[in-house]
Amino acid sequence: MKAMARPLIIVGSIVVIIGALLPWATFVLNDGPYPDKATLEFFDAPFGLSSFRLYLEILGLAGLVFCFVPLRDKIRVLKAVGWGALGVALINTLFIIGDGGGFGAVTVADGVTAFGGIAAVIGAAVLLYGAFQLPAEPKVVINPKLPFWAEWLILLVAFVALLLLITETLTAGGHSGVSDPYIGPLFLSYLSAAGALLGVLWAVGVTKWISDMSERHRIFSIVVLVACAVAVPFTSLGNDYWMTITANIGVYAATAIGLNIVVGLAGLLDLGYVAFMGIGAFVAANLSGAVAAEFGIRLPFLLAAIVAGIVAGLFGAIVGSPTLRVRGDYLAIVTLAFGEIFVRVSQNNIGGLTGGSNAIPNIPDLSLFGTGFNDSLTIGGVQLPSGVLYYFLIVVLVALVMFVFGNLKNSRIGRAWIAIREDEDVARAMGVKTGKLKILAFMTGATLAGLAGAVFAHKLATASYDSFQFNQSVTLLAAVILGGMGTIPGAVLGAALLFVLPEELRQFSDYRLLFFGLALVVIMRFRPQGLIADRHRRAELADQDVTGESLDDTVIKEPVAVAGAKEAGA
Amino acid sequence: MSTPVLQARDVSMVFGGLTALKNVSLNLDEGKIVGLIGPNGAGKTTFFNCLTGLYTPTTGQVLLKGAVLPGDPAEVTAAGVARTFQNIRLFPSMTVLENVLLGRHVRMRQGPLASLFHGPSFRRGEAAARDRARELLAFVGLGKVEDELSRNLPYGDQRRLEIARALATDPAVLLLDEPTAGMNPQETEAARQLIFRIRDLGISVVVIEHDTKFIFTLCDQVSVLVQGELLVEGTPDVVRGDPRVVEAYLGKPPEEVEAELQAVQEGETP
Ligand SMILES: Nc1ncnc2c1ncn2[C@@H]1O[C@H](COP(=O)(O)OP(=O)(O)OP(=O)(O)O)[C@@H](O)[C@H]1O
Ligand SMILES: [Mg+2]
């Protein structure tokens, strides 16, 4: 079959290209504001509806070009192209079938034929199959020696490109998401194509090269990243809708990074983590001067946020203390129980601090120099959308949380956490006070969640038990695992995906959770280390089959009971 | 005679109905290498676990430089007893350097706040720890692989890395549990030289090994453990000649043992 690789790729690519140009639907899909154009035949239909065709053309051409140009690690490059093409073709074909009235819609109906979708799917499958027949090659590593200013320039370009990619991703198919019936497939097509692009970059070693570079110029990268984040309101995301969404992503990203300390670094499974965010939110709400608040005082926000963080941190220490005795699954159950207790207590307003099912509404808007955080703002003649100050506040929050995570990870304490995750008994035998450090992990994570909660309450102007239910904990955990355990970009990406996808997939209302679950399963199957993997975990999971367990034998695995009991006594 | 640096007094360890150790005593003098041999299941590893606080002995005491050791493994390490494991127990997905840095943990003083803010003294401490870790890696002969993940090292190198990690805790006493298991003859010889060099640093060493030739040519004193009891102790010559050892430990016909011992002696004086 090896000899067939090339012909298969060529044929597949050509079929993809032709398929993209053929009609895809036998009749006009009847929903949407421009029914006459809604045949999925145009490149320039409403909201760039048919941009999927453009992607397919590009991917098909890429398949041809990459097949002929000399290239190292062709197999990975072409696999990325193939997967991307297959994704785009399948998504749109399935959409037409599902939304446009069955199989006839993509084949023959009323004497009209439309085989574009079928052709593209088959072509992409052939292309992908051909790619799999290519000889395996070692991973390409590129590491040219460049002067530092050239590296800065490349980083700058890379980050700006990343920013554009993100804004494009988020706005793929329109802004508000409600008016466009095709936003779902548009967004997913875009995601597939962007995924293929990133896959190719990864295969030729570019992503690794750039991430190594940003590691080398850490400070510079941080500055550029912050600048990019600050620039967001000035891009096409600069409207009320996206300010709210991005602010939400930011709050959850900050919380996810905090959770990442507990789960990703120290390896302690916490299923009730969102409760700490809730505690922070309620503390801040009660100190905000809201009418429904228990205390009639209004602390300055900064102070209230600090108090919220401290209180959440104390609860973190309390919840973390069972880690002295319980491990693994049992700890997960303890934290799960804590989360549930928190929800019940706040739902029933036990203690009178949570407003029960009435929540604590009307938390006063924050203000700075007389400008309310919910007002819009004009800087240098540019009108920024309302809520932009909250957005900036949340950028600061995320930056702060990143700082905490990054510094702790690269310290004596962070190493000890990772050692606990890897092998707790040995960590202890090497002198790590595992009990104290595990509680510290819980405390730190909880404090960060509490801070995020304080911001969250003000942004929403409400603190309600409803926002801190079990499913939020699970989503956060999924964000951490999906994005990549133990990494900052991973947690941010995970939070972004998990809290944006539901928005973009609104169209599939009934199926979106199904989709979501499916995507998670697929990612975990093919990339268990998460999208942006920690160097350590990547290696750990990537060559699992090769080295496997091997290192752990019995000896001190058995006397866990003995050792555990002793630790508790100490 | 000065007090031994490490002293185990009548250590017994009972697991349920099984007596794994019965009144085992051991004295380790400063700057010496003591060997611990015995058949499988004799209780050698259990004894190490008792020495390092991983197990609390049912009865008996362990003293370091005359002071009773605390019952917590972390504190035992801080007090100056470090060890390696029979089944290598590195932190597999940390790099080689990070493994050794973890060994430095107990000698570093940076608390949560310093770790959070990375101030100048933090950075100095961190740099010093890195220097020391690199020094130790060079010492055990792993100078070039500090950024490899420890799980990717060949077997023999993993054993050496475990030793470097243990040395990073600045121990007074180093306990090595079968440090040459699975090594080829060259690696075994290198390990022997390494243990001598460790001894020359002033660190006292206890070595568990099944390879009697290795033990007899390495150690100043040898203890033989059989079914949880100390059978014989003394210099290699004494132990080697003891008929009970020949019978109980080696469990081979005497003539075969003689041949083996012959070989050992020849190996010693080539
Ligand atoms: N935690 C434990 N619980 C119950 N029994 C144990 C425990 N640890 C060790 N044992 C038992 O104690 C005995 C001594 O075991 P140990 O591992 O110390 O032997 P060893 O001399 O190190 O043997 P080997 O040469 O095979 O390493 C064995 O019978 C073992 O099953
Ligand atoms: Mg043993």
CA–chain centroid gap for A158, Å, is 19
Is residue B15 in contact with ligand 1, taking CB distance under 6 Å?
yes
* Percent above pLDDT 70 for chain A: 84
Residue A115 maps to a domain: yes
Task: Compute CA distances B20 → A481, A554, A555, B57, whole Å.
Answer: 43, 16, 13, 10
Same domain? For A246 and A226 the reply is no
pLDDT score for A426: 94
Q: Are residues A223 and A80 in the same domain?
A: yes
| Cβ contact B243:B222 at 8 Å | no
Tell me: do A133 and A184 sit in the same domain.
Answer: yes
Confidence of residue A172 (pLDDT cuts 50, 70, 90): low
pLDDT band (50, 70, 90) for residue A401: very high
Tell whether A136 and A243 lie within a shared domain. no
Of all protein residues, the one whose alpha carbon is nearest to atom 11 of ligand 1 is B20
Say how far apart CA A45 and CA A189 lie, in whole Å. Answer: 15
A405 found inside a domain: no
ipTM: 0.90
pLDDT at A332: 86
Residue A5 vs residue A49, higher pLDDT: A5
Which range among A330-334, B49-53, B123-127, B185-189 shows the weakest confidence by mean pLDDT?
Answer: A330-334
d(CA A388, CA A369): 15
Stretch among A169-183, A318-332, B71-85 having the lowest mean pLDDT: A169-183
- Name the domain boundary from A233, A263, A281: A233
Location of structure tokens 């298991």: B181
Both A262 and A141 in a single domain? no
Show which of A206, A233, A260 is a domain's final residue. A233
- Tell me the one-letter amino acid at B201: L
Look up the domain containing A308 and give its range.
239-360+419-568
pLDDT at A92 over 70: yes
Alpha carbon of B42 to ligand 1 centroid (Å): 7
- At a CB cut-off of 8 Å and minimum separation 6, what does A271 contact? A332, A333, A335, A336, A339, A470, A473, A474, A477
Number of domains chain A is built from? 2
Co-location of A213 and A329 in the same domain: no
* DSSP label of A464: -
Q: How far is A393 from chain B (nearest CA, A)?
A: 21
- How do beta strands B221-226 and B33-37 pair? parallel
Chain length of chain A: 570
Domain check: are A72 and A206 in the same one?
yes
**Of A368, A370, A373, A369, which Cα lies nearest the Cα of A388?**
A373
Q: What is the CA radius of gyration of chain A?
A: 26
Does the Cβ of B269 fall within 6 Å of ligand 1?
no
Q: Candidates B14, B46, B52, B229: which one to mutate for ligand 1, based on the most atoms within 8 Å of Cβ?
A: B46
* Chain A positions touching chain B (beta carbons under 8 Å): 404, 407-408, 411-416, 418-419, 422-423, 425-434, 440, 444, 536-537, 539-540, 547, 551-556, 559, 562-563, 566-567, 570
Q: What pLDDT does residue A542 have?
A: 43
Residue A483 to residue A493: CA distance in whole angstroms: 6
DSSP A553: -
Residue B82 has pLDDT above 50, yes or no: yes
Distance in Å, CA B210 to ligand 1 centroid: 15
Cα–Cα distance measured from residue A51 to residue A295, given in angstroms and rounded to the nearest whole number: 55
State whether B110 and A566 contact (CB < 8 Å). no
B87 lines ligand 1 (CB under 6 A): no
| CA-based nearest residue to B207, from B231, B229, B177, B230 | B177
The answer to whether position A562 is within a domain reads yes
**pLDDT score, position A141:** 82
Kindly report which listed range (A62-66, A173-177, A422-426, A488-492) carries the lowest average pLDDT score. Answer: A173-177
Spacing, Cα B36 to ligand 2 middle (Å): 10
Q: What confidence category does residue A557 fall into, taking pLDDT thresholds of 50, 70 and 90?
A: very low
Q: A494 near A480, Cβ under 8 Å?
A: yes
Residue A540 pLDDT > 50? no
Go through chain B and tell me how many residues it has.
270
Mutate to test the pocket of ligand 1, among B45, B47, B180, B208 (most ligand atoms within 8 A of CB): B45
User: Do A176 and A296 fall into the same domain?
Assistant: no
Computed over every residue of chain B, the mean pLDDT equals: 90
User: Looking at the domain assignment, is residue A13 inside a domain?
Assistant: yes
Tell me the CA–centroid distance for residue B87 and ligand 2, in Å.
9
Give per-residue pLDDT as tens, A66-88.
Answer: 989 888 888 999 999 999 999 99
Report whether pLDDT(A560) > 50.
Answer: no
> Are B74 and A434 an interchain contact pair (Cβ–Cβ within 8 Å)?
yes
Ligand 1 pocket residue status of B163, Cβ below 6 Å: no
Tens of pLDDT, residue by residue over A260-300, are 999 989 999 899 999 999 999 999 999 987 777 777 788 88
Claim to verify: residue A299 and residue A323 sit in the same structural domain: yes
Please indicate, yes or no, whether residues A11 and A160 belong to a single structural domain of this protein.
yes
Instruction: Look at residue A553 and tell me whether its pLDDT is greater than 70.
Output: no
For residues A272 and A343, membership in a common domain is answered with yes
Residue A254 and residue A276 in contact, taking contact as beta carbons nearer than 8 Å: no
Q: Is the CB of B202 under 6 A from ligand 1?
A: no
Q: Which of A217, A233, A249 is the last residue of a domain?
A: A233
pLDDT of residue A568: 36
Instruction: Of A249-253, A310-314, B163-167, give the lowest mean pLDDT range.
Output: A249-253
The residue of chain B nearest to residue A548, with distances taken between CA atoms, is B151
Which residue is associated with the tokens 């009609």? A23
pLDDT surpassing 90 at residue A59: yes
How does DSSP classify residue A364? P
Nearest residue (CA) to ligand 1, atom 3 = B15
Tell me whether residue A199 is in a domain.
yes
pLDDT in tens, B166-179: 999 999 999 999 99
* Among B179, B202, B174, B200, CA closest to B80: B174
Give residue for tokens 């051909």.
Answer: A130
A157 and A268: one domain? no
Ligand nearest B85 Cα, by number? Answer: 2
Retrieve residue A130's tokens: 């051909």
What confidence score (pLDDT) does residue A40 get? Answer: 52
* Residues 4-23, chain B, touching A (beta carbon < 8 A): none
- Angle among Cα A515, A517, A522 to the nearest 5 degrees reads 90
Dist. CA A310–CA B180, nearest whole Å: 51
**Does A399 map to a domain?**
no
The pLDDT, as a whole number, for residue A289 is 79
Whether A380 is in a domain gets the answer no
Q: Is B48 on the interface with A (CB under 8 A)?
A: no
Residue A404 placed within a domain: no
Q: In Å, what is the CA distance from A535 to each residue of A297, A409, A459, A478, A541?
A: 48, 13, 35, 19, 10
pTM for the complete prediction? 0.83
